[in-house]
Structure 1
Amino acid sequence: MLNLVFAITVALALNGGLVSLSHAEDAQKSSHIPIEAFAQLKTASGMQLSPDGTHLAFFVVHEGRQVIIIQPLQGKTAGVIPTGEGAEISWFRWINKTRLAVSYAYTSKRYLTTTRETRLYGFDLDGKNMINLIRPRKKQTIGTRLGTEKVPAQIQDKVVDWLPEDPDHILLSLDSDLDGNSEVRLIDVGSGHFSEVIRGNDGIQNYGTDQQNEIRLAWGYDRNSFQNRYKSSAKGYWRSISDTPWGGKGIDIVGFSPDPKIAYVSGYNERGRKAIFQINLETDEVLDPIFSHDQVDYDHIVKHPVTGKPVGVQYTIDQPKIIYFDDKLTRIQATVDHALPKTINRVVGLHEGKKLYLIHAMSDVDPGVYYLLDMKSKELQFIAETMPGITPKEMAPVQVVSYKNRIGVPIPGYLTLPKGRDTKNLPAIVLVHGGPHARDTQMFDYMVQFLANRGYAVLQSNFRGSEGFGKAFENAGRQQWGGRMQDDVTDSAQWLIAQGIADPKRICIAGASYGGYAAAMGLIKTPDCSVAASALAPC
């Protein structure tokens, strides 16, 4: 995390003593928060409530690496799950009230090619009884001898369904014989023993289930094309989505309603924004949308933290917001938002019987806090900060701005100004997001807050090509590296200067990945626009 911070500082300093000296004088006017506070790994993250509502499991950082802590709500720490030798913990999830699944990722080589490998293990509450949940698949070899695979599958953590109604098993897809066609296993989470539900289909590497936990979706690549199929609930056969009346219209299945005949699908509304519709899979009738917005696309389907079933939709105008299909979750969300009005709050865990709700709250100036809401006692209990040392009142508020580019297209963005200082003629940074098909939001960004704390004005621009603002806006950036997208970045810098916010002699374009490319291209294409650039891992 320190790399881009360091690179931006060096980029500005190398452009002459006047730039470096001027900024040093400006910086003395504000109170510096130690750089380590911004660059730290989150001290508590990924927090989950156990299915019986008695324990919390979460990531903490130990010697620079993530480990998992399992903490009873009443009592001392029950267990620790360590990182692996040469591997990192990728994710974890409660399987049932006594077991967790943990995915480890590491780098390896296959046939002289560097690969990313994953392995899936099960642990008890005390961090013990560790078993590999993926056992070798016995197969017939030449003659009559029965053998096992000598080369394990590369990716071993693709859980299809957590089967909450069957807490002793999970469904998982795995290409165990390395032929590009994944089977689906029903795995006993206590032993790793399994049976095969699907032996494998040509060109299929991924599967999905409906709300009755039946396998209904299958997709992947064969040697020639992308395959995308679903199973009819009534007729029970697999059908290619491309063969349906709606399959060629940019519509794709993203989940199922409680009625197995009805699928949730992603498509575009009349304003060209991604929306969620329903389709009757037996009649091919496209039903009314359950979420549609005039300004922005939906972000993703929200799943229930325990069952994994679709319960809502998230969308972002400036800050993320969830619309729940479930009335009970809607009421809980309203209660939480009333108690915590200054943050964006999400229910990340719950136990309905005990009326316990695990809440993650964050904002533009708050990197995140976990709370436990007890609806029986009407108490909201603080659990943990994600970044100790970051105090919201010391952070700079992020302002929503919009300006027109050189051809009059409105460009949405976010402006962060240093606190307690004159807001004119500042050293400034245009911070370009990666992707480029991604977007910035009005939420906490450690890099933005570090730079503002050091006296810089920071502008985050959602240039043409950014996602989330409709098909036409995103498509305007296609094949426009160094073209329209770069023009919008240049216009962002010019807008800062025109508004009197930025000192034209102290302005920098910075970013990582695509943002790094744009920073470097800015010096080539418009060297008079910025005096410095910082490019981290440009692509």
Structure 2
Amino acid sequence: MRQIFSSRWGLVSLVVSLAGFNVPAFGEDPAVLPAHSYPSYDRAADIPAHVFARDSELERVHLSPDGKFLLMVTPENTRFRISVVPIDPNDKRQYYTTLLPKNQFMAALWGNDNRVLIVGQAWSYDRNWNMIAHRGINAAQHDGRSAESILKTDYKSSKTYTVDTILSTLSDDPNNILVTYSENGREWPDIFKLDIYTGVAEKVSDGYRYIDDWYPDGRGNVRFGMGWYKQKFYMVARTTASGAWHELPTDGVGDIERFAFMGYDPDNPAIARVRATKAGTDRDKIYAFDLATGALGEVIFEHPKYDAGWLISGRNYQMLAAYTNGERLEKAYFNPDFESKSRGLDKALPDMDNRIVQITPNGSHFMVFAQSARNAGGYYRYDTQTKDLDQFGLVNASLNPDYLSEVSAISYQARDGLAIPAYVTEPKEKTEGPMPLVVMPHGGPWVKDNFQYDYWAQFIASRGVMVLQPNFRGSDGFGRAFEQKGYGEWGGAMIDDLADGVSHLVKQGKVDPSRVCIMGGSYGGYAALMGAIRYGDMFKCALAVSPVTDLKEWYSTLKDRSGKDFGTRILGKTGRSVFKDHNPIHRAEELTIPLVILHGTDDYQVPIKHSQKMVAALEKKKHKPTFIELEDEGHNIVLAKSRTLLLRETEKMIGKYLKN
């Protein structure tokens, strides 16, 4: 599914402290990790905001195919440091490292055991002010002895698509990779085999109009592609490795925006695996998909309660497991050997959601990301032969999980009887009697909250305030009917669901109704504004980050770049009246409670003018909010300085409006 909003900064960036240590092999008893020495505080409330918001993190990490090196992308202010680090702590040699401006970096990966590939992009204008994109691939030896450009492409057309650039490395051909780019500025990308040492490119397939996502099978043969163009969805396929492309019908795959490619059948690559919601059904399932006819076949995996998540696959798309985000991360296994290893990891890392995020081509090593709602987590390398588990660092080495708060899954009933799933974070250091509360709606608005670490929620809880994170109607993961109940209700029933969650906790005696605020980012920022407008008697303050404030303008800007059902998500059956009834900027006079708005100056997803216009509308009505422009920040709040400002403003509001 395409995301118009990002989730509320839930994709946790990762920091690797390279003082790795080894955990004994799995046995009858869980392995005990050596204790990490965290800074100590008298209580959670003493931990400064910048510790929760710290910026020493790893953006991405990738194991070399032989499992001996890490390729790390580490933020350093406005640049990324891309570096090779040996797994062996006794290896003191110097390895490849480089710096690249963040706005030019696209990807870094291994081409083979000792060849690093970096994809970058920059923009310029010609004399007629046509935008020119310059995209290229640099290759370097892991020891830094050589580095050269192996691909450069320039094109002018804004319609030229080069989404992936690198489609696949080729495990049976370590000198070449598959790439896709537009030759001579043509509109739709062709497919090439590129030598990662010489830069020589050989075309292996012409592209196809409207197709910008291509999917090679386990042997490097591209057999399936899909794309969007002017709100219409297209699919093409071929049933043999080098046969002719044919268009597939799209009316047999159900809800097109829920359609996702999941791999191929290793025994018959003319059959793909896709996640889809079949017509007449409610939940996403993973199906066999016939590349000859475009028909959904047998169900490969379904979850009894939630939408199916994603597959974990080995070499040549061998199906190993399915992961689903339920109340916690849930795993279903298809391979007994993989199940044994995975359960061993869960035993060694108890009380954590352990996700295997990479498997080396020969299956010798796993990269594991372990996290829980009160533990920011860390990266581990598991050797499947020796059964050794190496920890290479923590996401936040300054924040002790022992100070943080437990998160529990609850469900409450909305006013129309709909069950609303939610998460509640209760302060570790509780006071007697009903507590203050912050309601924190997620982004998307369909990107559901999961049981994962949330630095903002944990910071609020550390200040003695409960946090409610509802998966209101419209959230994904709970079936098509639940999601569709949010269509046309962005500022209506979806906001009522938030208020009903407050009422539920008040009735239980857990929350003081006189001390409740609402805060959120992206759609959650919009919801904070609409909550303040519609429930000014319930919420004592509001904080909105990167909010849409004019639905009509935002809809007009994005409708041509989104799926055909995008308009339905906003308008529903109500129609264009939502542009008046559910528009914060048109109801500014109704917003009277204290308000803070933060917005990144470089937000291209929801431009800062949304917040600027909202502030102007409020000031016209004699209501002056606190407005903070976050310099150098985009839509997702990722810079430490921006997150620190957010948490400090949050703490000010808590102290002023939620404390006795």
SS state at 1:321 partner? strand
SS state at 1:477 partner? coil
1:415–1:113 distance in 2 versus 1, CA, 3 Å: farther
Work out which of the residue numbers 292, 302, 305 in structure 1 matches 2:312. 302
Bigger drift between 281-290 and 454-463 goes to: 281-290
1:128–1:401 distance in 2 versus 1, CA, 3 Å: farther
TM value normalised by structure 1: 0.84
SS state at 1:83 partner? strand
Deviations 1:331-356 (A, max 9, x none): 22111112112211123344586944
RMSD across aligned positions (CA): 3.2
Work out which of the residue numbers 306, 318, 321 in structure 1 matches 2:327. 318
Deviation at 1:54, TM superposition (A): 1.7
SS state at 1:91 partner? strand
2:84 equivalent to 1:54: no
Gaps of 5+ in 1: 6-27, 138-148
Match of 2:140 in 1: 123
Work out which of the residue numbers 38, 41, 49 in structure 1 matches 2:55. 41
2:399 equivalent to 1:385: no
Match of 1:277 in 2: 287
Deviation at 1:282, TM superposition (A): 5.0
Asked if the contact 2:446/2:483 (under 8 Å) is kept, the reply is yes
Q: 1:158 and 1:406 mapped to 2: Cα distance?
A: 49
Higher strand share: 1
Q: 2:133 and 2:459 mapped to 1: Cα distance?
A: 32
Matches within 5 A, 1:300-449: 300-304=310-314, 311-351=320-360, 355-422=364-431, 424-449=433-458
SS state at 1:40 partner? coil
Q: 2:80 and 2:532 mapped to 1: Cα distance?
A: 38
SS state at 2:357 partner? strand
Work out which of the residue numbers 73, 81, 84 in structure 1 matches 2:100. 84
2:301 equivalent to 1:291: yes
Asked if the contact 2:136/2:152 (under 8 Å) is kept, the reply is no
Deviation at 1:194, TM superposition (A): 0.4
Asked if the contact 1:252/1:266 (under 8 Å) is kept, the reply is yes
Deviations 1:209-235 (A, max 9, x none): 223321111223456843211112399
Q: 2:249 and 2:491 mapped to 1: Cα distance?
A: 35
SS state at 1:407 partner? coil
1:385–1:223 distance in 2 versus 1, CA, 3 Å: closer
Deviation at 1:395, TM superposition (A): 1.0
Q: Which amino acid aligns with 2:308?
A: Y
Q: Which amino acid aligns with 2:312?
A: V
SS state at 1:289 partner? strand
Q: 1:386 and 1:283 mapped to 2: Cα distance?
A: 46
Higher helix share: 2
Q: 1:464 and 1:95 mapped to 2: Cα distance?
A: 43
Asked if the contact 2:138/2:147 (under 8 Å) is kept, the reply is yes
Q: 2:193 and 2:325 mapped to 1: Cα distance?
A: 37
Matches within 5 A, 1:195-214: 195-214=202-221
Q: Which amino acid aligns with 1:99?
A: R
Q: 2:79 and 2:509 mapped to 1: Cα distance?
A: 44
Q: 1:195 and 1:179 mapped to 2: Cα distance?
A: 17
2:144 equivalent to 1:135: no
Bigger drift between 307-316 and 517-526 goes to: 307-316
Q: Which amino acid aligns with 1:255?
A: G
Q: Percent identity?
A: 28
Asked if the contact 2:366/2:381 (under 8 Å) is kept, the reply is yes
Work out which of the residue numbers 460, 471, 475 in structure 1 matches 2:484. 475
Match of 1:9 in 2: none
Q: Which amino acid aligns with 1:345?
A: N
Asked if the contact 1:186/1:197 (under 8 Å) is kept, the reply is yes
1:29–1:234 distance in 2 versus 1, CA, 3 Å: closer
TM value normalised by structure 2: 0.69
Deviation at 1:264, TM superposition (A): 0.9
Match of 2:513 in 1: 504
Matches within 5 A, 1:185-264: 185-221=192-228, 225-233=232-240, 236-242=243-249, 246-247=252-253, 253-258=261-266, 259-264=268-273
Deviations 1:14-59 (A, max 9, x none): xxxxxxxxxxxxxx97542121121113534532221122212223
